[in-house]
Structure 1
Amino acid sequence: MNIARFVCFLLLACAALAVADIVQITDENFDTLVKKSDEWVLEFFGTNCGACRAFQPKFEAVERIMSSHGRPTQFGTIDYSQNPGLSARFFVSRIPTVVHIKDHQVRPVTARMPDMIVKFLENEEWRDVKPSSGLLSPYSLFGTLVGYIGKATKWLTQTSPWGMVGLLTGLLIAVVGLSWKVGGNVREEVTRTPEDRDPAVSSTTTASPALPQEKARKRRSKRND
């Protein structure tokens, strides 16, 4: 047991001397960097989060250990407040939040000690964890839609008041114009006569008065005969 701890300590010490290769993931580059076939470990953090600052050295140590072991696992960090699209898409409710991604399957990483996270990755213990599925999957249609809503929310909060006034005015004009056009079509349909809608009705109506005259002419012809 003591030997195992000593070996783990040496690995952590060696890892501390290396430079962590952690990618900054954003709303814009996520879909480009995180491919389906890749294995990723992502951390959602906040710049003003004390727990995040305490966890950061541990997360970097895990990356250095995995890299020294020649593992292809990639590591990335996501600023929670600066990337609301991803934060909403992954349904992040607390930070730091760590997730494991493989084949577009997302699983939570609950361990916080470096040796436990390394064990979780190297022994592929993540296979025993149920991935987010259905609507809660970040790769589902609903998860993608929630991500777009998160982006839109950020854009709206950064828009100036005058910009918001212009946007709302434009939307109002568009809605009123569409309503007027639809209402005009309805009014035109209501005011149209049956003859306007079906020309055959008009021809039948016009020809119908001649029918009694034709019958009377046939009767007179029979009497004369």
Structure 2
Amino acid sequence: MYGTARRHRHAAFSAAVVAALLTLTACAGDTDGDDGTTSGGPSTVSPSPSTSAAPSPSAGATDSPSGTTDDDGSTSVPPFPANTDPDTAEPSAGAALTVTDVRVGRHDGFDRVVFELGGTGTPGWRVEYVPEAIEDGKGDVIDVDGDGTLQVMISGSGYPMDTGVAEYAGPNPLRVAETDEVEEVVLRGVFEGNTQAFIGTDEVSPFRVYALTDPTRVVVEVRNDDT
């Protein structure tokens, strides 16, 4: 009798423990938000398949337009032109931006240069090949590696003291050994609302320019016709 009662109490206790564990496990699977994250444990929500869409530019070290990294969908990537004509865009009214980072990356068929900016408004630009690199406002000739020189003028720029944003303080000139077309990037200063930079290229190749947001970026891509 005593042994039978003890076995019954033991079985009842085990069942209670199992029920409690099942309740805790179910609670751990509850999501805190739309991103599928959970509070206090790994998510049990299966990710929904992504829908196909037109290629959109994105951010990060390589800032891929394929949408594989930081796909913000802010703009469509323009096609590469069949020529090397200047590319221009107007800034928003009252834009006050400072270049905070410069990145260079090699991609299939082109090299990419990204100018990240902080401040207010959206940037404009004028990007074009020039016979030589001449510093705006001073007239000094700047030594830039490469057989081609792309001048990048980012309009809507302001001095750090006016924008309240710390300017880029990384390597300058910036060189990346793995690139095919871009030899180096030389960032100069701000003059009359424009940030000036030069991209030294292996040859005078077609290029495209577009802007991204979150964070604000101006992207310059130089086509590599040898791939």
Q: TM-score range by the shorter chain?
A: under 0.3
The structure number with the bigger radius of gyration is 1
More helix by share: 1
More strand by share: 2
**Structure 2 length as normaliser, TM-score?**
0.24
